[in-house]
Structure 1
Amino acid sequence: MSLESGVYTIKCKLNGNLVGRHPVEDRSANPKPVYALGADNVPPQWVVERCEEGYTLSNGGGRAASIDGKIFVILVEEEFSTAETWVIEAQPHQGENLYTVKTKDQSKAWSQTAEVGGEPETFILAVDYYSVKESLPVQYLPQNLFEFTPIVDTED
């Protein structure tokens, strides 16, 4: 069961926090950090696009990339080449709409950390080595699972 291209909200399985850029950030064109946001935030919208190598993920006009082991959104189009193609794999045996988001070589995955972010009520999202519980099928830890919920356009 692969993820279709579309617009989604993403939540961390670990604690249900929304994934996205903080609503208050500097106005520079520098890459913006992606956080696990507190529940009081408006759900950030992610554009998920399937391509030959995997998926691109965009939030707020920029593309997701790993910088120094953390997830950022690249805003400057000329720098999109540093954005990454991700492998998104369904984990239906662990819950509805749950996925892992891995690097192209699948050696690392998105992970919600316990590290508090630079903004209030946020947690850092990292790209790190992941652990699994040895079982069949493989069980991923909650910090490596993300719920992708499609945003349905009701204006048709």
Structure 2
Amino acid sequence: MRILLALDESARAVDEAVKLAAERGSGLTALFVQDTTWHDYLGSDWLSGSNARGGYIEWAAEHDMREAAGLPELLREKTRGIDFELKVASGRVPEEILKELASGAYDLLVMAQPFRRGLEVLRDTAAGLIPKLPCSLYLVREQKD
């Protein structure tokens, strides 16, 4: 059995995926998707005559790269003793998750609910994925404060 963890800002989803992998003796792959769809959402700078859109897209990309840079060390600590792999992709988050799952290597997808990654903060990612999933889904609900 191999588990795919769709990474967002949820430490709880990471902990649950690691716990499941350890309990079941499963391999774990964590997928971090750099969302490249902000330009579709924000429209065009030529309408406003400013560089606001381009500046924001650049900031979002840099933020994603900084976030991705710290992941290997953080995850290496949490996954000690587990067959673990980190993958980074760029694109629309649900499409990249489905692409990775299409390999047929995974039996379970673990992700936070709500899922917060790029524009997916604004969408219900799990609802969009469920009818297309080739494996089981484990949603980790975020605790409310």
Q: Normalising by structure 1, what TM-score?
A: 0.27
Higher RCO structure, 1 or 2 (CA under 8 Å, sep 6+): 2
Please say which structure displays the higher CA radius of gyration.
2
Select the structure that is richer in helix: 2
Normalised by the length of structure 2, the TM-score is 0.28
Higher strand share: 1
